[in-house]
A and B are shown apart, each in its own frame.
Chain A
Amino acid sequence: MDARRRHVLAGAVALAVAAAGVRAAAEPRVIKVVARKFVFLPREIALKKGEPVTIELTAPEVVMGFNAPDFKVRTDIIPGTPARVTFTPDKAGTFTFLCDVFCGDGHEGMSGTLVVT
């Protein structure tokens, strides 16, 4: 391989690495959460302030809701169809998320915590 060709290849590799880096920075971290009667698993979710995150939710039993009012994100969770919410925490602290679709006796206790550092 001549020096010119090596140089071109090295440039291409560098570009590919840079592109992957940009993609990695742009794509939110995905955290999977299961909503069962009457608990979110996990109940506590650790997040970083300023880091985009996608919470992917599944509900294997009945329709549930996910609502994090401090970050103004919510979604219904329909069994068989994963639901996603994407947001970037803009403040640090401990915040409640809850099921806001009435799902039975135990619904009132179905909540969890977002811990943003």
Chain B
Amino acid sequence: MTMHRRDFLKLAALGGGAVFASSLPGCATLGAGGGDDFYFVQLSDTHWGFNGPVVNPDARGTLPKAIAEVNALAVQPDFIVFTGDLTHTTDDPAERRKRMREFKEVAASLKNRNVHFLAGEHDAALDRGEAFRENFGETRYTFDHKGVHFIALDNVSDPGARLGDEQLAWLAADLAKQPKDARIVVLTHRPLFDLAPAWDWATRDGDKAVEMLMPYQNVVVFYGHIHQENHHMTGHIAHHSAKSLIFPLPAPMSQPKRDPVKWDPEHPYRGLGFREIEAEAPSKYEIKELEVKA
């Protein structure tokens, strides 16, 4: 028997849900292991080390608040993914590493230790991912979870925002091993499509990756970079961007410049948040956006 997390939460709200769930023979274990359905949490664009009180006077407090909210979730996610710009950029390699160390210390307070990190251009573009790899491992990788194939793509280590021919060949080789009906989730930092090239919201050769993914029936992309929720389709492939945990940015091309949205003391943390993503077989993804609470 498969139990969805939302069913569990309904039962939990009635009391005794955890006992009910675990006492049923064959019932999916909630959390790690078990059936095909699961959920994970996406956090993005934390920009640790950013200093700009006009847009976020609580730059060092916002990520810890979000982590406290994740830790307080009634059912812990199977895993957590950070989709890039973990740190804010700096020209100083020593300062870059210090920010990454501090970020890791903060992220270590997550109750769930199954965490996947992606780089953003702020982390990786000035040294082609060197400091990121020292601290977090490879900038591109795959993993499988309960029947879903996850592909983390690096479109930021090249300061010109290219995936590059070598990575595209790597992607092609990985996809060749997947059946056409495989459940595939692509994680990346920048949009793979031309969301707003005049604001640098694009990947220069992202269309090649999308073209490679097109023959696969069940593909979805989760990314960051644009500091707001956005949903876009390229053919049958959905692309969902996540909110930031440092400052929101304006809607694509809604104003002449992409200046950060100023902090509103009347509505602190407005526009900042993270999301839960519930993956249901065969290829349904339910997204729930959560705000950072003041």
The answer to whether A and B come from one shared complex is yes
A interface list, Cβ under 8 A from B: 63, 65, 67, 69-70, 76, 95-96, 98, 100-105, 107-109, 111
A105–B88 contact, CB under 8 A? yes
Return A91 CB to nearest CB of chain B, in Å.
14
- CB-CB < 8 A to B89: which residues of A? 102, 104-105, 107
B161–A100 contact, CB under 8 A? yes
B200–A108 contact, CB under 8 A? yes
B198–A102 contact, CB under 8 A? no
- CB-CB < 8 A to B199: which residues of A? 96, 98
Stretch of B30-38, B206-214, B235-243, B252-260 contacting A (4+ beta carbons < 8 Å): B252-260
B256–A65 contact, CB under 8 A? no
B126–A102 contact, CB under 8 A? yes
Contact with A along B205-230 (1 / 0, CB 8 A): 00000000000000000000000000
Number of interface residues of B (CB under 8 A): 20
Q: Contact partner of A101 among B88, B160, B198, CB < 8 A? A: B160
B200–A76 contact, CB under 8 A? no
Q: Contact partner of A100 among B91, B200, B256, B259, CB < 8 A? A: B200
Contact with A along B64-93 (1 / 0, CB 8 A): 000000000000000000000000111100
Name A's interface SS: mixed
Return B122 CB to nearest CB of chain A, in Å.
8
- CB-CB < 8 A to B198: which residues of A? 69-70, 95-96, 98, 111
Within the assembled complex, what's the spacing in Å between the Cα atoms of A100 and B90? 18
B interface list, Cβ under 8 A from A: 88-91, 121, 125-126, 156, 159-161, 197-200, 204, 256-259
| Given A98-B200, A100-B204, 5 more pairs with CB closer than 8 A | A65-B160, A100-B161, A100-B200, A104-B89, A105-B91
Within the assembled complex, what's the spacing in Å between the Cα atoms of A102 and B91? 12
Q: Contact partner of A102 among B125, B197, B259, CB < 8 A? A: B125
| 12 A-B pairs whose Cβ atoms sit less than 8 Å apart in the complex | A69-B197, A76-B160, A98-B199, A100-B161, A100-B200, A100-B204, A101-B160, A102-B160, A102-B161, A105-B88, A108-B200, A111-B257
Return B218 CB to nearest CB of chain A, in Å.
32
Within the assembled complex, what's the spacing in Å between the Cα atoms of A35 and B159? 16
Return B3 CB to nearest CB of chain A, in Å.
44
B159–A67 contact, CB under 8 A? no
Q: Which residue of B lies closest to A105 (CB)?
A: B89
- CB-CB < 8 A to B159: which residues of A? 63, 101-103
A102–B121 contact, CB under 8 A? yes
Return A40 CB to nearest CB of chain B, in Å.
13
Q: Which residue of B lies closest to A76 (CB)?
A: B160
- CB-CB < 8 A to A105: which residues of B? 88-91
